[in-house]
Amino acid sequence: MSCLSRVEVARSASFRLTIGYATTFVVGLLAFALLAGLAAQLFIDFQGRSRVEAELASLQEAFRQGGLAAVTARTAEMAEAYDDLEIAAMVTLGEKPPGVLSEVSDWRLLTAADVDEDETPIARSTEIGADLWLTVATETESYHDVGELMWASLAWTLAIAFPMALFSGWQLSRSVAKRLQPIEMTTGGVRDGELSRRAPVSAKGDEFDRLASNVNAMLDTIEVLTRNLRNVTAGIAHDLRTPLSRVRNRLLLLGQDDVGGRERRVEDAIRDIDETLATFDALLKIGQIEAKTGRRDFKPVQLSQLVADLAETYAAVAEARGKSLDARIVQNVEVRGDRALLAQLLSNLLENAIEHTPEKTQIVVELSNGPAGRALAVRDNGPGIPAVEREHIFERFYKAGSGDAKAGNGLGLSIVRSICGLHGFDISLSARPHDTCFTITF
């Protein structure tokens, strides 16, 4: 497996998505920090103004009740109540206190030579007597501290969050690309003709393993279909070449025969053409069955009655061939499906048992409904199917060399398998000398 390059990781969709989400996250975090800082500043400013308003009203009431002595006493209480000169009051004679930098209504921002910028108090003055002004002020250091903390938070957010997001996105993209690379290499190999390639599946059972399993299942189906196509092509070429060659030879010899000989050659040619047409009809039948992808048109089918009718019909055929056919049918077994296709399925199995077994063979068709589920079995005590042929028995154009001559076109059991696949049934073969059984479970 080749190593992942930086370019491949940078171009990956996961990396781009991670960068996009990280950018959105950082921008959102910055906006939240900015709004939170502004809200904190507004809250501190509101608290300071409210505190000044309350203390100013308290001092005014003290002056009305006890004059300057009461104001002085109340100011001393304020000094003890508030640490670090958070709030202070003073009474001046004359005009408003000097040093006003800005004014909103009668709120003032006062300065002093020995006071830092971030300690500049917010003050409010009111006239309490003739040329007497009462001023209450509160410090603004905490207001500036919040602003500094806000900008520091924004700076650290940019310095840490975004690089961490980039690093996380890079690692995530490498991890995703590493898990997807085997699947990409597998599909590339299959594209180049290596149909046996399969994607590795780990024991984690995550979405990548489920994807790999689905890809492998798809490749299994493609490989089977490709192999079937090759077999069908070879089978058609092999099975149709012989009858068509015979027809050609008979046509060439027509001029050399008498009237009776020409009639026999024409009859033989018609029979060969009928066999060829039957082969094409069977192939078309398989194609039509496999082309059906849905089961919406399926209806309940009384399988017990269907099996009984077909067993009665084929019992006469078997008897004419010197064989016997017995039916063991459980009543009231019902399945959902296509009645015509189910009849075709059982007919092919019975014809297969009759055609490929010698005289005096006993054939049994059994429909059961036991604890293990419903099942249909067609059994015979003929010579059996050799082990080397069992794995090919359902392939198209394959003819087992048992019983009579290799009759038929080798498509009967392929049709059976296609019908079972359409209905979701399972078909299995158990074979040993003098005991061959095809079992369909519903």
pLDDT single digits (tens) 173-202: 777 778 888 888 888 888 888 888 888 888
pLDDT of residue 362: 92
- Are 349 and 327 in contact, with CB atoms under 8 Å apart? no
pLDDT band at 246 (very low <50, low <70, confident <90, very high): confident
Helices (H) and strands (E) counted in the chain, each on its own, are 10, 12
Question: How crowded is the C-beta side of 184, counted as CA atoms within 13 Å?
Answer: 9
**pLDDT score of 408:** 59
Decide if pLDDT at 336 tops 70: yes
Instruction: Compute φ and ψ for 297, nearest 5 degrees.
Output: -90, 0
Of 102-106, 156-160, 195-199, 228-232, least confident by mean pLDDT is 102-106
**Span 10-24, average pLDDT:** 73
CA dihedral 172→178→180→183, nearest 10 degrees, is -170
| Res. 365 pLDDT band, cuts 50 70 90 | very high
The pLDDT-based confidence of 1 (bands split at 50, 70, 90) is very low
Over residues 367-374, the mean pLDDT reads: 82
Per-residue pLDDT tens digits for 47-69: 778 878 888 888 888 888 888 78
Phi, psi of 17, deg, nearest 5:
-65, -40
Residue count of the chain = 442
- Determine which of 33-47, 337-351, 425-439 has the lowest per-residue pLDDT on average: 33-47
Name the 3-class secondary structure at 4. coil
CB 123 within 8 A of CB 98: no
Mean pLDDT, the chain, as a whole number?
75
| pTM for the full predicted model | 0.48
Model pLDDT, residue 308: 92
Instruction: Say which amino acid occupies 313.
Output: T
Instruction: Tell me the average pLDDT across 340-364.
Output: 87
Assign residue 258 a region: left if phi > 0, alpha if psi is -120 to 50, beta otherwise? beta
What Cα–Cα distance (Å) separates residue 63 from each residue in 57, 75, 95, 195, 435? 10, 11, 18, 101, 122
The span from the first CA to the last CA of the chain, in angstroms, equals 45
Distances (CA, A) of 440 to 227, 335, 371, 381: 24, 12, 15, 18
For residue 34, name the pLDDT band (cuts at 50, 70, 90): confident
Angstrom distance (rounded) from CA 372 to CA 307: 20
CA atoms of 253 and 261, how far apart (whole Å): 9
| Amino acid, res. 212 | A
Give me the pLDDT at residue 91, please: 60
pLDDT tens digits for range 116-164: 555 566 777 777 777 777 777 777 676 667 667 777 877 787 788 778 8
* Cα–Cα distance, 91 to 283 (Å, whole number): 113
5 pLDDT band, cuts 50/70/90, is low
Note whether 108 and 123 are within 8 A (CB).
yes
Dihedral sign computed on CA atoms, order 56, 59, 64, 68: negative
Quote the percentage of the chain above a pLDDT of 90: 4
Residue 64 is predicted with a pLDDT of: 84
* Mean pLDDT within 385-391: 73
Averaged pLDDT for residues 301-320:
90
